[in-house]
Amino acid sequence: MNAPNEILQIWIGNGVKKANLPIFKMILLGMAAGVYIGFGAHVFLLATSAAETAFEAGAAKLIGAALFPVGLMLVVLCGGELFTGNNLLVLALMDKKITVPQLLRSWAVVYLANFLGSVLLALLLAKSGLYSGAAGERAAAVALSKTGAPFSEMLIRGILCNMLVVLAVWFQAGAKEMIGKIFAIWFPIMLFVFAGFEHSVANMTYIPLGMILGAEVSIGQFLLSNLLPVTLGNLIGGAVIIPLWYYYSYR
């Protein structure tokens, strides 16, 4: 495996490559990442939709959390640009390998492309026939719960979530074989899902899907009560806390 100081160098190099991608490629790969993370959200909803007792609910949540990481595996190993993972581009900025405008351009384009891919998947899932009955009720309930918590709580959940997401993409860079990368991604992502933390890109599928299926959530509630605090939290956890820890520890 690569040592932490070697992982740092890998991610500085990754940051340079990602920041210099042509806009068209950012959009294509960003939409792909939105779809892949949405696949994880979809299987989590299906896994947790049929539970009736507290024990069943806990077991179903564990199964859903264990399935969700496939989304990030697809992003990292098949190719994709994910806003939350790309928060580590800050490492290349701190190393003066990219500029602030390059960083902000990458984040903005990838974030919007993630949104487009996620909403497109939500539309397709809603029309797939897979959300009749309990699954549809579960999707609507999740959308309501994600827009009903206080701003500060969503902010904190967003911080904790993206600490784990960027640790997962940092972790996998330490592995030199694909199976090692799969396990490195699997456990931190499984942890954040089971813990109930909030991921902005996953919510771009969860909430629109619930809205289409009848959840009484407005666009304003989606954007201001969830996406805004969760995105800010994701930035604090993934673009500030983890990069600062590791840059000043190993550079």
| 206-227 residue pLDDT tens | 999 999 999 999 999 999 999 9
Is a pLDDT exceeding 90 seen at residue 51?
A: no
What is the amino acid identity at position 24? F
Radius of gyration of the chain (CA): 17
- The Cβ of residue 1 has, within 10 Å, a number of other Cβ atoms equal to 13
What is the amino acid identity at position 138? R
C-alpha 15/C-alpha 18 separation (Å) is 5
| 104-136 residue pLDDT tens | 999 999 999 999 999 999 999 999 999 998 999
Average pLDDT over residues 127-151: 95
Is a pLDDT exceeding 80 seen at residue 53?
A: no
Query: What's the token pair of residue 77?
Result: 């190993």
- The Cβ of residue 240 has, within 10 Å, a number of other Cβ atoms equal to 15
- Above pLDDT 90, what percent of the chain? 96
Query: What's the token pair of residue 99?
Result: 């500029």
Lowest average pLDDT, out of 47-56, 135-144, 216-225, goes to 47-56
Question: DSSP letters along the chain, please?
Answer: ---HHHHHHHHHHHHHHHHTS-HHHHHHHHHHHHHHHHHHHHHHHHHTSS--SHHHHHHHHHHHHHHTTHHHHIIIII----TTGGGGGHHHHHTTSS-HHHHHHHHHHHHHHHHHHHHHHHHHHHTTTTTSTHHHHHHHHHHHHHTSS-HHHHHHHHHHHHHHHHHHHHHHTT-SSHHHHHHHHHHHHHHHHHHT---HHHHHHHHHHHHHTT----HHIIIIIIIHHHHHHHHIIIIIIHHHHHHHHH-
Predicted confidence at residue 55, as pLDDT, reads 80
Query: What's the token pair of residue 172?
Result: 């996998």
Contact 191, 168 (CB under 8 A): no
Average confidence score pLDDT of the chain: 96
Average pLDDT over residues 3-22: 97
C-alpha 219/C-alpha 225 separation (Å) is 10
Average pLDDT over residues 221-235: 98
The b/e string for 158-192 (b: 16+ C-beta within 10 A; e otherwise) is bbbbbbbbbbbbbbbbbbeeeeebbebbbebbbbb
